Each structure stands twice: as C-alpha cells, then as structure tokens.
Structure 1
Amino acid sequence: MNEEEQKKNDKIKSMMGGGKKGQGFNILSSDSTDGHGGYGAGTITLNNMSPVFIDVDEGDAFVDMGALHARSAVEKGIKFKPTKEEAPDGRPFWLVWVNTDHVEGGPAYAGVAACEMTVNRETRRGYKSLPEHVNNMDKALKGKVIVEHMDDRSKDILRDYLANFDPEMWERASDELKSGLATS
C-alpha cells in the first residue's frame, strides 16, 4: 500500500469510529470468501433482489434500488408510522421484493413478496410495517411467493411489469407465482 492509499485508508477508519473493532461496515461483492470458507462464509447476497414499487393510483410499476436501504424516492422525506390510523389519507403503494434465481434454462423470477405502504406527501407521513418489509424480503430471498393480500389491479400491474420486463424470465417463473398473480 502506497502512502496515498494509506492516508485514504486512515481517513476512512477515522470516519468509522477511529478504526475500532465493530464500528464499520463490511462491503461484500462477488464471492466474499474467495473459496476459503472462513470469514464471511454464510453471508447473504442481495445481488439478485430488486424492489419493485407499484403506484396503485397511477397504475404504474418501477424499480427503485434505494428501497434496499429504505431510501427510495417514495420513502424519502416521509416519517413512517406503524399503523394506518397514524398516517391517514395516504397514497397507496406496494413494495414488492422480487428475487431472481437460476433454474433449468436460465434465470427466472423466483421469490416475490409484497408489502403494503401508504404515503401522504402533504403531511410527510406514511404507513409501513418495518417487520413485514424485513420478513418479506427474507421470504423472497428464500423463493417464497406472498402476493395473496394484494388487490387484483395491483396484481395485474405487477404481472404485466414482470412479463414485459423479461418475457423469458416470466416463462421460467414458477406456476405458484403465475397463479398467485392471476386475476379473474
């Protein structure tokens, strides 16, 4: 490590609490263990996870990767409350955790789990259940499909978005996902 890199490293350490053990973050990418199976073995990766928002009023779906850290455009500037009563008159959204996995024939939509949320921009208040978001992200990572609580219009929007975004991935998706998003 040259002198310039050492200064940069020291600066980063000081920003993270003086280099004290346990004060910083480990940023992992690719194979965190490089095959050695030691430190970092058993970590999870969110490389195949995408947060898809459904704007129910607009009938639109879009990806905002900021949602992985609760910093999406929808969430910024909003103080979220744990009950709907504390955040009345909110605009309805669904945050859908979509995980992809490799199946026979190529990549496919694997786990999909939807979380309800509302946002009132005027009062800067919203509703979301943080435990629901965390648990549903975990379930999507594990390949579960949790969409039965969504309204039919939102299911249609999500189904059309996923199918149009990558028709081949949609074709390889599980029958459970396809039937879960089917409406009458």
Structure 2
Amino acid sequence: MSDQSSDQNKNNQFTIIKDDPNDGHEGYGIGSISLENMSSVIVDPNEDKAYVDMEAMHARSAVERRVKFQSDPEAVENGKLYWIVWVTTDNGENGAYFAGVGSSHLIVDRSIKRAYKSMPEHVKHMEDSLKGKISIDNMDEHSKKLLKDFLADFEGGDMWKNSSDELKNALSE
C-alpha cells in the first residue's frame, strides 16, 4: 500500500460498524439490511493487487465501469478474472475484526467492452458476508493469497489478528 497515491489511501478504508439505526425502535425499518459495516475489496490477480473500492457496492467499481454486462460467460471468453470480495467488519472484545467474507467473480474483456457477472451469486455472497460467514471456496489460490496479504497488512494487521481462525485457515489453504 505504500506505493499508492494519498488519494487512493483515503479511499482505502474499511467501513467499521456504526450504531444500529433501529436501536430502541420496534417499528419502521425493522428487517431492513444495513450495509454500513460492509466494504468491497477488489482482488486483481492479473496485476497482483487487492484494494478497497467502495463503488463496487453499487456496481460502479473501476473494474465494472464502461463495460456492458452479459448473462453468458462465453460472451467474454477472452476476458480477465477479477474478484469482488464482500468484507463485513464487526467490533469484538479485542477491537475491530473481519467478521464475514464472501467472494464473487467477474470476467472483463475491455477490448470488446463486455463483462460477465452473476448477480444472484454476488447477492448470495454479500448476504453470506453480512451473516458472518466465510464464503471464499470459489477463489483460486493466487487470489486468496492476494486477499490474505491485503487483509493481514491492513492498518497494521490488528483487524486480521482479531479475526477468526476460520478466516485465517480459509485463506491459508
């Protein structure tokens, strides 16, 4: 992260859980989903990097811009693989930690301005992350290592140290 510009570092932050907007209220808004404690990490195995891109929360990450999404992965058979990793944070007795992680892939072919992603897959992995599940079995080993290195180095590694053995083991396989 040290070679990145200061502007990118400002955006390279995880959203830490905030107060529950429904705290003390039993009516309107109950049952709604808060994404305040979720961040999106882009893992780019083509460039050997991982970074936070909050625009992915609205399908507007740098990877997703200026391409037309196709419902058939065959339409982008020469595309490059990317991962959007939905990372949910929480606060525990030792401080903030990575509570849930779900990964979804994208295939992007900039030369033809086409891309593929499965919206149901993205929604499922976002939901898994929000529920505190670790859902990264679909990632290749190289991409897992990039994600592990990014999370382990993030802001001195305290959040990684406070995270579950399940997450650490899943990223070490």
1:48 counterpart = 2:37: yes
Alignment of 1:1-184 (within 5 A): 31-33=20-22, 35-166=24-155, 167-183=157-173
The range that moved more, 32-41 or 128-137, is: 32-41
The range that moved more, 32-41 or 131-140, is: 32-41
Q: Shift in Å at residue 71 of structure 1?
A: 1.0
Structure 2 stretches of 5 or more lacking a match? 1-17
Aligned partner letter, 2:88: N
**Partner SS, residue 99 of structure 2:** strand
State, as a whole percentage, how many aligned pairs show the same letter.
48
Moved over 4 A (4+): none
Aligned partner letter, 1:62: Y
Q: How many residues align?
A: 155
Partner Cα separation in structure 2 for residue 69 and residue 144 of structure 1: 21
Q: Give the TM-score normalised by the residue count of structure 2.
A: 0.84
Q: Shift in Å at residue 34 of structure 1?
A: 5.9
Partner Cα separation in structure 2 for residue 95 and residue 51 of structure 1: 6
Q: Give the TM-score normalised by the residue count of structure 1.
A: 0.80
Q: Shift in Å at residue 94 of structure 1?
A: 0.7
Aligned partner letter, 2:160: W
Partner Cα separation in structure 2 for residue 139 and residue 51 of structure 1: 13
Partner Cα separation in structure 1 for residue 21 and residue 168 of structure 2: 34
Partner Cα separation in structure 1 for residue 57 and residue 64 of structure 2: 11
Give 1 or 2 for the bigger CA radius of gyration: 1
| Coordinate RMSD, CA, aligned | 1.5
Q: Check conservation: 1:32, 1:41, Cα contact below 8 A.
A: no
**Partner SS, residue 160 of structure 2:** helix
**Partner SS, residue 54 of structure 1:** strand
